[in-house]
A and B are shown apart, each in its own frame.
Chain A
Amino acid sequence: MSIEQVVGLYNYWIVVFLMMTGFYIVIARTNLIKSIIGLNIFQTSVFLLYITMGRINGGTAPIIPAVVADAHAHAHPADAHATDGPAGHSLHETADELIYSNPLPSVLMLTAIVVGIATTALALALIVRIREEYGTVEEDEILELDRYS
């Protein structure tokens, strides 16, 4: 295994490690709240997997500098072609020098995080109800109670 491979792949290894820690918590612990914590860790590792894929070395966040953006903002659609003179050219060159990291994974994960917290809240609500009905949040005790009911 070469150094190049380690530098190129360490992000995946970290993600796999975190993912497996979360997975371990989910399968090894019987406490339902602890399982939700494990799921959260698992979920965050998936976010990190996507975000690391969007990164470009030497890139910057996908937010266009104000100079470039303003040129487009004040170019009304009707006279967009008229402004494409010498000044427009130099602006395009500054824009070309910048490398933007990929915005697509950011978009996907942004919505996933908020949906994730909403579903986590749903799971926690179910746990509260389970506790009220069974008097415990330990998985094996709940199964035991179900068997003898």
Chain B
Amino acid sequence: MTTFPIIRVVTKLLIPYILLFAFYVQFHGDFGPGGGFQAGVILASGLILYGLVFGLPAVQSVAPPRTIERLMALGVLIYAGTGIATILLGGKFLDYSALEHNFYPHYFPSGQHLGIFLVEAGVGVTVTSVMTMIFYAFAGRNSVE
């Protein structure tokens, strides 16, 4: 934790934009460079920056380790669940054509697009929470001697 005022103020100013950029990369990943892996890492680096400047307890009250632990598994569950859903809808595992629907397809993603959206969301959740959890594990350890 640092008490240097410039760092604290600049960090507070920057973090909203880092998080916003992470969500942009996540949801715009189908159209430009980006996707779940990148968005997850950027979101986690926003949280890590907060933790570095304001201390571990501060960031752990924003993102409690218990929640992060569950999110780690939830991401993979979303990914695999999309695969199971396509099986239940009559397709093959992770064959997103089964997700085709006729409910305003011009406004809501459909078919392959919907599948990719769900899968990237799963990847994003897992990568964010794993990177944050790894940081917690290292930062929570006290220095020996």
Contacts and interface: CB of A to CB of B under 8 A. Distances in A.
B141 A128 contact: yes
A114 B138 contact: no
For the side of the interface on B, what is the size category?
20 to 34
A125 B145 CA distance: 18
Contacts of A128: 138, 141
Contacts of B35: 110
Given A77-B100, A125-B138, A131 B33 contact: no
B134 A114 contact: no
Interface in B50-108: 100, 105-106
A76 interface: yes
A118 B37 contact: no
A111 B106 contact: no
Interface in B126-145: 127, 130-131, 134, 137-138, 141, 144-145
Contact of B32 (A63, A76, A77, A131): A63
Given A63-B32, A128-B141, A110 B105 contact: no
B134 A121 contact: yes
Contact of A118 (B111, B130, B138, B144): B130
Nearest to A111: B37
Contacts of B32: 63
Interface of B: 31-33, 35, 37, 40-41, 100, 105-106, 111, 127, 130-131, 134, 137-138, 141, 144-145
Closest 6 interchain pairs by CB? A121-B134, A114-B37, A132-B144, A110-B37, A114-B127, A128-B141
